A and B are shown apart, each in its own frame.
Chain A
Amino acid sequence: MKLALTVNGERREVDVPPNTSLLSLLRDDLGLTGTRYGCGRGQCGACYVLADAGVGAPGHGARAVASCLLTADQAARMEITTVEGLADGTKLHPVQQAFIDGDALQCGYCTSGMVISAVALLARDPRPDETSIRDALAGNLCRCGVYGRAIRAIRRVAGSS
């Protein structure tokens, strides 16, 4: 199945079997391996990407979605941004910089998904309080236990710490 979709601001054309997930398309066809497989059921957040369904669509604006649950042809109707597309050249997105400065990671497997959720949150609410941060990232599981550090990093970006 031939598809064209917009990923990180670029138009990309791929040929994938029907029902290929956006997650495998990103990882296996576009080489964007920063989006990671964790459960395949949208329960852990490791594969989150930003999806913007465009003006007029319900919930307009980039939302954090599980790329394991989207099919490639669903994704073709949206603008997709992955963790690789957040930095502006060599200048990191403020959330990325805050995660480094606050050492808000250990193994780093879940970090891409957390960063994506935080970016989506700040886009719709630039000054979230701690409860909003916890709610917005409740779908991002971390086993190493950096929740407290991630909350502090996001609060610093939001200027609410």
Chain B
Amino acid sequence: MWDRREPERLEQRIRVERDGTVTALSGKIDFGQGLRTAFAQVVADELDVPIERVNVVLGDTDQVPFDFGTFGSHSVAQEAPLLRKAAAFARRQLIDRASTKLGVSGEKLDTDSEPLTGVIPDRVVLMPETRRKYAGRPTPHVEARDIVTGQATFVADVRLPNMARGAMVRPPARGAKLRSMDDAAARKMPGVIALVRQGDVVGVVAERDEQARAAAAAVEADWHALPVEGPTAEVPMRSDPEVDERLHGAAMRLAQTYVLPPIANAPIGPSAAVADVRADGATMYVGTHRPFGVREQVAKTVGLPEKKVRVLPQITSGTYGRNSHADAAIEAAILSKGSGRPVLLQWTREEEFAWSPSRPEAVLEISAGLDADGHIVSWRYDEHTNVHTAAGLDPGVLGVTSGRNAVPPYAGFPSRVTLHIEPTRLRTANFRSLAAAENVFAIESFMDELAALSGQDPLAFRLRHIDDERFRRVVERVAEASGWTEHSGNRRGRGIACTVYHDTYVAQVAEVEVSLSGAVRLVKVWCVVDPGQTVNPEGVRNQIEGGIQQSASWTLKEELLHRDGRVMNTGWDTYPIATFRDAPESIEVFVEGDESAPPTGVGEPGAVPTAAAIANAVYAASGARLRSVPLTRERVRKAMPA
């Protein structure tokens, strides 16, 4: 399901256009991770053209080859080598044709030549690295100029002739069924074109946005609340022999529980979609991780064959996983079909908080034993959480989704790791790094606690349990870069945390200042990352910095409150995130990829160790060991030693 099976064909990947530009095609989606830039870099290099002449088309279901979706920081790793190969193959064909024509007849090149086609061979001679002009060099986002001038077309910026606006009528809580409704008053309101109902989906289409919202608010709907039942599952992730025996026989033992609340994706741009559904076909302008998934769902919803639905992904607000669900697209399609007009639907801020899927909460229980020499001899880990993906509870992938990074990256001891999936009334799904951020918070906090229990330096203690050379190197390098010392005095302290996320190695040191009141200020972060071969070092740095900044916000500020399936904090005033004032003085990112290793992802790994690095720093600064996030002033104050 994750891999394409069809052979890759050149014409589905690279088109040399009549005007001398090059079109590169991919089913992956750019949410700001810089994929468009990285793809343009490799194609420009192989075809030896200026990067400005490369036009990257992402996710247009009429043009690009099928792709399951953009997840797990795989995109550059999967697609850049493929596009590089395709472009190299195109270049070889162009040169072959040119030499044939020139050699045989001496005629000038024929500009009417047939498009380049063919199965891309496994082995293609690539441009020598010394001749690459873009890959490996810092390259700003190719769409940057359009963005800073306001010209970029985000989903909600799409304007079609005769386009109307939509607004939804929402139930009081998730999973409610519509019993009856009275829309007589709403229908008479100014600008209203249609009241649309399909099953439990109810919405208004009007000429203007405010008119649609006012009419939606005037619909009297009677909802019947149903209890939401969730599935449960237990997944053994790892089960070595002798875990219990060794734990009981250990010289020192420790057991702790770590708790993380649900948090919101909280994109700055709420979900949006434009649908133009007609009797003979539909065109959808959307933000999505899965254009082909949207095509399938929309086709089913409006009763058209898939081939008649074209999905055109637009630039979209960063959503960090939330767009794995096609909510706004499906609703917009229903409204367009019901009104006979192209419809733009953009959710309100309140809807985005209340109805989006969120990152599930997690409770992590860890026990471990150490020998008299301070080596780990046994490790027991139970992860309790909810489903992490839009696909729901799929036993085949639970281990790599909800159980991601539950198995510790350390060596030399037996472990038993079990994932427990429990139901929740909250709607939960994909969020940056899935469960890795939660598991690594627990594991890396616990590593510090074990070091403290046995009187060891947290850095030295980790290094004793690392046998992977690339992992060891990032940890040693971050210590060097930060001038590692656990204490820096004057209410300041430093914490370290590290992990291996989908073969990307990442280690961080955080420095915090903790006031007597318990308020935590993040002062500095150092990060060393090894993502293998690196296409755009500046892009990697930007992604890692962003991951750290976002994760610092999760750790210090964020908690989604809910009761009876209803989200309670639905605005920036009640769900505050980090602002310019909270940004640390510096985030120093050292991109030190092993160039002999294949490229791995960087969109998520930066966000993974930050919570533990901060919590460990808070401990170093104040003696307060926090096992629950967010690290609020009240919690830190309470945990401070008297």
Q: Which residues of A pack against B, CB within 8 Å?
A: 17, 19-21, 24, 27-28, 31-41, 43-44, 46, 82-84, 86-87, 92, 96-97, 99-101, 103, 105-112, 115, 133-135, 137-151
Contacts and interface: CB of A to CB of B under 8 A. Distances in A.
Contacts of A44: 268, 349, 572
B571 A107 contact: no
B587 interface: yes
16 contacts: A17-B208, A28-B208, A34-B150, A39-B571, A43-B571, A43-B573, A44-B268, A84-B151, A103-B138, A105-B144, A108-B147, A108-B152, A134-B580, A142-B268, A143-B268, A143-B320
Given A31-B159, A109-B267, A148-B586, 5 more contacts: A20-B210, A92-B149, A105-B141, A109-B154, A143-B320
B546 interface: yes
Q: Which secondary structure characterizes the binding site on chain A?
A: loop
Contact of B140 (A20, A38, A101, A135): A101
B546 A106 contact: yes
A138 B147 contact: no
Contacts of A86: 149
B151 A143 contact: no
B573 A143 contact: no
Contacts, number: 189
B356 interface: no
A46 B268 contact: yes
B270 interface: yes
Closest 6 pairs (CB-CB, A-B): A34-B150, A145-B549, A107-B32, A106-B32, A107-B318, A145-B546
Contact of B154 (A21, A36, A100, A133): A36
Nearest to B138: A103
Nearest to A136: B580
A56 to B, nearest CB: 30
A115 B152 CA distance: 15
A83 B546 contact: no
B269 A38 contact: yes
A28 B159 CA distance: 9
Given A83-B149, A100-B145, A148 B210 contact: no
A149 B584 CA distance: 11
B157 A38 contact: no
Contacts of B145: 92, 100
Contact of B156 (A32, A36, A43): A36
Contacts of A148: 545, 549, 583-584, 586-587
A142 B147 CA distance: 14
A110 B34 CA distance: 16
Interface centre among A32, A35, A84, A147, by most B CB within 10 Å? A147
A94 to B, nearest CB: 11
A103 B346 contact: no
A22 B497 CA distance: 47
Contact of B550 (A34, A143, A149): A143
A144 B317 CA distance: 9
Contacts of B584: 148
A112 B152 CA distance: 10
Contact of B315 (A27, A108, A147, A151): A108
Nearest to B549: A145
A88 B318 CA distance: 29
Contacts of B345: none
B317 A111 contact: no
Contact of A82 (B143, B150, B573, B578): B150
A107 B155 CA distance: 12
Contacts of A143: 266-268, 317-318, 320, 550, 577
Contact of B269 (A35, A46, A140): A46
A82 to B, nearest CB: 7
